[in-house]
Structure formats: structure tokens, C-alpha cells
Chain A
Amino acid sequence: RKEVEQDPGPFNVPEGATVAFNCTYSNSASQSFFWYRQDCRKEPKLLMSVYSSGNEDGRFTAQLNRASQYISLLIRDSKLSDSATYLCVDLTGTASKLTFGTGTRLQVTL
């Protein structure tokens, strides 16, 4: 089983739609979780951290469910500029190793 699993997509949604991505992780000792955004042929960029209490940043909401080892990202009112690959990431161990999922590709269309 992969340490971090995501649906690769692609998710094709119209502008203005709400879209949700899910991610599961296998290491119950994982300390922290993040969502990164990666545009085509570019480096990953931190989108937001994920806390047990959930957190919101504008149109983006991230949730963590430790009991189910499940992380989600909700994007409301999708914009064309949201088109990218979204990477679910966990932070593990003393080496602070980031473990990435394969990424979920989002394409927002007119």
C-alpha cells in the first residue's frame, strides 16, 4: 500500500464549480499534512497546511480526520487559474521527510 494515496483524476470542472479532493495516508505516526500545488513543468508550491481542526484560506478548505487517516481539500468557486495538480503530503519522522501522493490533476474550463 502506498504511504499517501490520491485519485489521479483528471477532474474536469466548469468555472464556478465546487470540487473536492481526497487523500488517505498509511502512517499513523505522521505528524503534519499539507497540500501543495504544482503547475505543469514547475516546482510544487505550498498551498496550505492541514490541521485537525480544519483550516480555511479564502476559497480553499482543508480537513484532517486522524481516526480515518484521511485528508481532504475543498475548492469553492473554481477559477481557470486553479487548473493544476494538487499534491497531498505528509511529514514524517525525525528526518522531516515529506511523502507525496501522486497528485490529482484539476482542469477548470469555461
Chain B
Amino acid sequence: DAGVTQSPTHLIKTRGQHVTLRCSPISGHKSVSWYQQVLGQGPQFIFQYYEKEERGRGNFPDRFSARQFPNYSSELNVNALLLGDSALYLCASSPGLPNTEAFFGQGTRLTVV
């Protein structure tokens, strides 16, 4: 069985550029959440989507946006990249709400130069 898959695994972008990160949840899971993890810190909640609707948003600027597709996959978009956006971006998949059982993908490591 495939776990949570994220793409790309690594990415280097220049300040001011835009980036799109992708996530495919475990088959049958309808909830996807996005987290940002900077070095030395725990993951920070960015968004949660369930049944294609945004159900929660963390304390991140409007440069961050996301969406969930009919097949439950999801995209995280970040505009006008800053150096401080360099981090590991993690996608978590869960069957539904509440997400008492969240499974994480391997993450996308974004470096902004």
C-alpha cells in the first residue's frame, strides 16, 4: 500500500519566486493537512482540508494558499518566496476528522536562496 507521497522531494527557489508543492494522501483518506518545519523546531500547522474544503488555517501570511482536489490530493502554493520560507514542508493524511491518526509524507525540502 502506498503511503503519503509528496513531490518534489527537494527544491531550490530564488527569493520572490512562486512554488507549488503536491501531496497524495493514503487511499481512502479524505483529510490532508500541511505543516512547515524549520530546523530545530517542531512542525507548524499551515492548513487542513477535508472533503475539499478548508477546515483550518494556521498563523501564516496570505502568500500561503492551498487546495484539495476531488481525488483528495492537495497542493500548497507559496508566492513571493522569502529566505525564511526555507523549511521542510510536510503533508499529513488522515481518514477523516478528528484526525486522531495522522500519517506524514517524507516532506519537500524547500531552500530559498
Contact = CB atoms under 8 A, between A and B. Distances in A.
Q: What are the nearest 3 A-B pairs in CB distance? A: A95-B56, A100-B42, A43-B104
A87 B106 contact: no
A42 interface: yes
B84 interface: no
A22 interface: no
Interface residues of B, number: 28
Contacts of A101: 42
A58 interface: no
B64 interface: no
Contacts of A42: 106
Contacts of A87: 42-43
B42 A45 contact: no
Question: Which size bracket describes the interface of A in this complex?
Answer: 20 to 34
Interface stretch (B13-21, B67-75, B90-98): B90-98
A102 B40 contact: yes
Given A91-B99, A100-B43, 17 more contacts: A4-B42, A8-B40, A31-B98, A32-B100, A43-B90, A46-B103, A91-B100, A94-B55, A95-B56, A96-B33, A96-B56, A96-B94, A97-B33, A97-B58, A98-B33, A98-B92, A102-B42
Contact of A96 (B41, B57, B58, B99): B99
A80 to B, nearest CB: 23
Contacts of B57: 95
A89, A96, A97, most chain B CB atoms within 10 A: A96
A95 B55 contact: yes
Contact of B107 (A43, A89, A91, A102): A43
B45 A99 contact: yes
A101 B58 CA distance: 15
A49 interface: yes
Contact of B41 (A32, A49, A102): A102
Contacts of A4: 42
